[in-house]
Structure 1
Amino acid sequence: MMKKYSLFLLTLLVSSLFISCKETSKKQIAETNPYFQKSDTPIQTGGIQMIPIETPKGTFKVWTKRFGNSPKIKVLLLNGGPGATHEYFECFESFLPAEGIEFIYYDQLGCGNSDDPKDVAMWDLPRYVEEVEQVRKALNLDKDNFYLLGHSWGGILAMEYALKYQSNMKGLIISNMMSDAIAYGKYADDVLAKQMDPTALKELRSIESKSDFSNPRYMELLMPHFYEKHILRLPSKDWPEPVQRSFAKMNQSLYVTMQGPSEFGISGKLEKWNREPDLKNITIPTLVIGARYDTMDPKHMEQMSKLVKNGTYLFCPSGSHMAFYDDQEIYFKGLISFLKK
């Protein structure tokens, strides 16, 4: 009986020591690596913060989620579409945390987990610029730590924001977006369209001439002949789950209002947008990312890196519009190098 009792006490002691060591280990990790520290809020939410946004049509809330904690590098991610969600950025979790880089997911108004005012008057570029500024203030981002990464439409928004508020920023990343929407449309017509199967192109143009964009045949043609070649270079059935999940939630009202019916050119409110002449006014460190098979002209994006005052160009030779999936190693190696230099 005494032996059994002694064995019980020994087991209890070992278990207590194991639990104590485990808790101490967690504490030591948090103390030695601030990246894993909890926020200073009384209730931990996994980094999620709902931010009230003041607009001409009232107050709405947008969703953000902080991943990691770095005092010197905080990257706010602006998704594309317009109208997609933060979710297609989830691949960043496989690369940035290992480098101690904090990044922040953010669903713009009308997207994903954020409020949707269901009002096309709200789909307005200057209003979105002010929204980003309100988000920056709420997240306590400043010139000593704040990097803004905009992809596609997010790149347009990032350029506009930088031209007005770059004094609040440490750096800018323009990912897969040209600075001139007119040139973007011309590139689609003069270069990408000519690479398409002529029979498919003829049928696409016929549908477009009738403005019959709700015709299922339109996307049936675009997916294999354009999207799988220039958006993400995989069969669409094999597109990564975060991409499929994000695109399935696309706010079509926002997308069509700003972009037009598809990625094959541009015809929405942004059709005449052009900031190329103003790039010289961006003085903060800027990384421009282009890709060989992108919907955007990689040569134009290389030129953008020369027009800004302090620019760097990253070229993804195997990538398309979503080069952070189809040319990951080049994309993230270049991005991380820029953020840490």
Structure 2
Amino acid sequence: MSLSPSAKGTVEFGEHRTWYRVTGDLRSGLPVLVAVHGGPGSTHDYLLNLASLAEIGWPVVHYDQIGNGGSSHLPDRGAEFWTVELFLNELDNLLCSLGIADNYVLFGQSWGGMLSAKHASAKPAGLRGLIIANAPASYPLWLNEMKVLREQLPPGVNEVLLRHEAAGTTESHEYVDAMTVFYNKHVCRLAPWPRDIMASLSEVYNNPTVYQSMNGPSEFHVIGTLRDWSVLDCIADISVPSLLISGRYDEATPATVQPFHDLIPDVRWEIFEESSHLPHLEEPERFIEVMAEFLKHLD
């Protein structure tokens, strides 16, 4: 089977539109894997290789969350518009509009993992399984660990970051260069970075509204509306089989993932030894094997 989409389109979401891509047959009878991307404010592109699961029968849906990619762009909306509830409602709307709300699995990566966990905690009837990949259980935990990782960077790098963050000059070339040192160690260890992740980064660069409003100027300097957000209060309510994925060098460190393992009743954790934040790109063959094994047990 080709990884070419079997369908593309948009669904109405209030007065806006959500773009989606289908690989495989949504009516196959198997639960549909829905890929919830990170950011917030990124796009589906860097998760495209999940479409290869359609080769073994699992239909896959990618979508771009509102604000970026093929979905409605709203660059004039303020921070008060971009809420967790907005993106939860968009996900519910997509599932219903595609007719898959009665039989689906969520794969949430990074911010998408937290969003998927929050969705799953409401015990939706059609959810069959949950994969939380490279996601923290809370942003306060994340920020604590970012401090640890930053202090382990080569001498002088964190000092550059701190100086520009204090001055509000995080768009400077010097800050970006120092930021790249962190990213190459804890976001993606491949050189050069794969085309798919570069496509998503380009989308964020061209329209940073959502990322900057909710997150901030970088992965490790979270000063947006999510800085205090957590799912610690609800993840014990997740009732479906769950898989945790993280990388040995992940910016989502074990301390940020541990609460999922401690609190979700039916869960297992796979750590990818040669990966950072993107095991699906850094160790793609093992990643697909782990995903296929998990999905097989859901069938």
Give the TM-score taking structure 2 as reference length: 0.92
Instruction: Give the deviation of 1:213 after TM superposition.
Output: 1.2
Q: Which runs of 4+ in 1 moved over 6 A?
A: none
Aligned equivalent of 1:51: 11
Do residues 111 (structure 1) and 68 (structure 2) align? Answer: yes
Aligned equivalent of 2:99: 140
Aligned equivalent of 2:160: 203
Larger CA deviation: 247-256 vs 272-281 = 272-281
Aligned pairs (5 A) from 1:35-74: 46-54=6-14, 59-69=15-25, 70-74=28-32
Q: Is the 8 A contact 2:138 2:256 kept in 1?
A: no
Aligned equivalent of 2:244: 288
Instruction: Give the deviation of 1:168 after TM superposition.
Output: 2.9
Counterpart of 1:48, as a letter, is: K
Q: Is the 8 A contact 2:122 2:238 kept in 1?
A: no
Counterpart of 1:103, as a letter, is: V
- Note the alpha carbon deviations across 1:139-193, whole angstroms, 9 max, x for none: 11134x3011111111121112112353231111111001111010000102x11
Structure with more contact order per residue of length (Cα contacts < 8 Å, sep ≥ 6)? 2
Aligned equivalent of 1:42: none
Aligned equivalent of 2:232: 276
Q: Is the 8 A contact 2:17 2:71 kept in 1?
A: yes
Provide the rounded CA distance (Å) in 2 between the counterparts of 1:123 and 1:264.
20
Provide the rounded CA distance (Å) in 1 between the counterparts of 2:81 and 2:96.
21
Instruction: Give the deviation of 1:299 after TM superposition.
Output: 4.3
What is the aligned counterpart of 1:131 among 64, 81, 90? 90
Which ranges of structure 1 fall in alignment gaps of 5 or more residues? 1-34, 37-44
Aligned equivalent of 2:193: 239
Give the TM-score taking structure 1 as reference length: 0.81
Instruction: Give the deviation of 1:297 after TM superposition.
Output: 1.3
Q: Is the 8 A contact 1:64 1:104 kept in 2?
A: yes
SS of corresponding position for 1:274 = coil
Aligned pairs (5 A) from 1:1-341: 46-54=6-14, 59-69=15-25, 70-93=28-51, 95-118=52-75, 119-120=77-78, 121-143=80-102, 145-190=103-148, 192-223=149-180, 225-235=181-191, 238-250=192-204, 251-341=207-297
Counterpart of 1:52, as a letter, is: E
Greater C-alpha radius of gyration:
1
CA RMSD of aligned residues (A): 1.7
Identify if the C-alpha distance between structure 1 residues 306 and 330 changes in structure 2 by more than 3 Å, giving closer, same or farther. farther
Larger relative helix fraction:
1
Identify if the C-alpha distance between structure 1 residues 278 and 149 changes in structure 2 by more than 3 Å, giving closer, same or farther. same
Provide the rounded CA distance (Å) in 1 between the counterparts of 2:168 and 2:125.
43
Provide the rounded CA distance (Å) in 2 between the counterparts of 1:298 and 1:102.
31
Instruction: Give the deviation of 1:301 after TM superposition.
Output: 1.8
Q: Is the 8 A contact 2:113 2:134 kept in 1?
A: yes
Instruction: Give the deviation of 1:336 after TM superposition.
Output: 1.4
- Note the alpha carbon deviations across 1:259-317, whole angstroms, 9 max, x for none: 11101242211111111232111111111111111111124424412311211211111
Q: Is the 8 A contact 1:176 1:291 kept in 2?
A: yes
SS of corresponding position for 2:106 = strand
Q: Is the 8 A contact 1:306 1:312 kept in 2?
A: no
